[in-house]
Structure formats: structure tokens, C-alpha cells
Amino acid sequence: MAEERAAPIRLGSVAPNFEADSSNGPITFHDYIGDSWAILFSHPDDFTPICTTELGAFAKLEPEFTARGVKLIGLSANNTDSHHAWIKDIDEVNGSKLTFPIISDPDRKIAYKYDMVDYQDTTNVDSKGMALTIRSVFIIDPSKKIRLIMSYPASTGRNTAEVLRVVDALQTTDKHGVTCPINWLPGDDVVIPPPVSTEDAQKKFGELRIVKPLHHPPTTPNKGGRLASTPFPATPQESSASCVGFLGPRLVLPLRNRRAIFVSHPLSQVDFRRPLSFQPRLCSSGAERLGQQQRGNKKQLSDENPILLFARITFASRLSHFPVGNCLGSSCLFAVRYRA
């Protein structure tokens, strides 16, 4: 058994293949998945109340999963004769018609491959004292990679609506290159992750709702005070800046012997070869204003009065004057409306 658990299952792992008997006949798992998504879920024991409600709920939702290109397959330690008799009870109790296969895993070989065994609950055992499977869920994509793992104790039933919601979220993020926030449902706002710029996001999705810039907390400079001692022109040269809507990496620059915090495009879009050219200019470009920022605000930049700017900064001095190590990554939270 220990050898079966040598390679832990993680998100992104290829789902281990196996051959097994099932209520629908012999199955080779990867062949069963084919080019579809799949949900492999285990239950502790046939003919138990919670398992009966769970299998009935999955059976009722099977048309929804099928419409999304998802195949269901259950697993327990019972044999196929037990499965066949139990399916009749499931359909009678729940008013369902269960058609997906239930795998028979009496020796727990598959259960240990997928780490479906509870090592804490000493009551979740069969008549021989062998550990029964817990309530595990694996969502597997067409490339056979595991995209989600959920494990419930034997005492607690699952939420089939949540399993379906995660399938919707995974398929949406794969198709559109977005991410889904908490409690997301189809039709709700999604998030455009960095490093997508405002311009690229608008081209792809149309109208955006920019919510709030998210920044990593600033790091402490070296004990020698590298920022303060960094050589830098006392007076910036002729300036230029253009308004942008994207809030990219936060740059902490010494300016006139003071510190100012600027927000600009990702570092990949910054040209470090040119001498410093920056004009402290504020603009919203469709983004929500932060604090006291207003178009045309000319407040003096200082340690006591740092200002966050929506601006593209053209740099300035040589790299020795602007250490890359002083750039702190951050991102902006975008949201767009996606309708399935």
C-alpha cells in the first residue's frame, strides 16, 4: 500500500490510469474519459443513507454535466453485484435514473492511488477492518490532468451544485483567459488577470469595470538605505507622460532627494535605456480615481505626500541609477461581464 502512495496527487498531475470492473462492465479509465472532461468521485459504502442521497443527486444532474462535456464515474470498495442492487435503491429513493458507471475497488488499489482513504476516522472501516474510501472529488480535463480535488469526511455529504459551479468556472477560465472570483456563477463578473493591459482587455472584452488597484506591500530597503543613496539626477530632464488605464508594477523612485510612488505599465514595457523623462501628471483614463487624485492636480511629490499616478513613465537614467530590485510588482483588478 505504501508504494501506491509514493507519488502524491496534486493539481496539474496526470490522473493515474487504471483498469477496473464497474456497474457498466470493465473500464480503462483514460479510455473512458476520451476527449471529455470527467468527474471521478468516491463514496464510503453502498446502501448507506448519505451515499444514497449523493449518488441520486449526481444522477439527477447528469444531463447538466453531459451538456458541458463531462462524464461522471463513481467508486467504492463494494463489488459490482452490490452496485447493481444499490442502484435500484438509489433510483427508487431519489426518483433518479443512474446511468454512469460505479467502479468496484474491493482491494483499495485505486483508492490508494488517488489518496481516497481517511487515516483519522477509525469508524470508517468495513467488516474486515479495512479503511473505506472517503468522499473525494476529482475534476479531470480532456488532457487527463487533475484540475480540482475536494475531500469530505464520511460524515458529511457533498454539494453537487458546487461541483457543477467549479466545472463552469474551469471551462470559462480555459476558454476566455479570465479568472473567477468567490461565489462566481455563469453570468457574474469575471476578473482579467495581469499582465493583460487595459487596451488589450478592451479589445478582447469591450467595456471594462476597473474596481481597485491591488499592490504588494512595499519591501524594506537594504540597511545601507540603497534608495536614499542611489545616484539620481537632482532635477528631471524634460518630461513626458501619457495617460493609461492599467495599473502595473509600483516603482519607488528617489526624486529631488524625496521618495515618490508611481504606478506604471509592466516592467516589460519600460525602456531602461533612456535617461529619465517623467512628468508628474494625473489622469484617470476611465479608471476610478484614488484618494485625492484629480485631473490637473499638481501637488508636490514628497515622502509625506506620495501620489499614485495613472501614467506611463519613460525612464530616465541608466540602470545604475534605477536598480531593478527596487521595482515592486502589483496588479490592477479588472472585471468584465461575461454571459454564457
Smallest CA-to-CA distance from 122 within 112, 130, 111, 113 is with 130
| Backbone dihedral region for residue 76 (phi beyond 0: left; psi -120 to 50: alpha; all else: beta) | beta
What is the sign of the dihedral through the CA atoms of 95, 97, 100 and 101?
positive
Rg over CA atoms, the chain: 28
Strands (E) located in the chain = 19-20, 27-28, 37-42, 70-76, 102-104, 135-140, 146-152, 189-192, 209-215, 241-242, 250-255, 258-263, 312-313, 327-328, 330-337
Alpha carbons 283 and 245: distance in angstroms, whole number: 9
Question: Is residue 231 classed exposed, middle or buried when 0-12, 13-18 and 19+ CB atoms within 10 A define those classes?
Answer: exposed
- Cis bond upstream, residue 26 (ω within 30): no
Q: Answer whether 94's CB lies under 8 Å from 86's CB.
A: no
Q: Answer whether 134's CB lies under 8 Å from 42's CB.
A: yes
Residue 113 has which C-alpha cell? 492511488
List residues with catalytic annotation.
Answer: 51
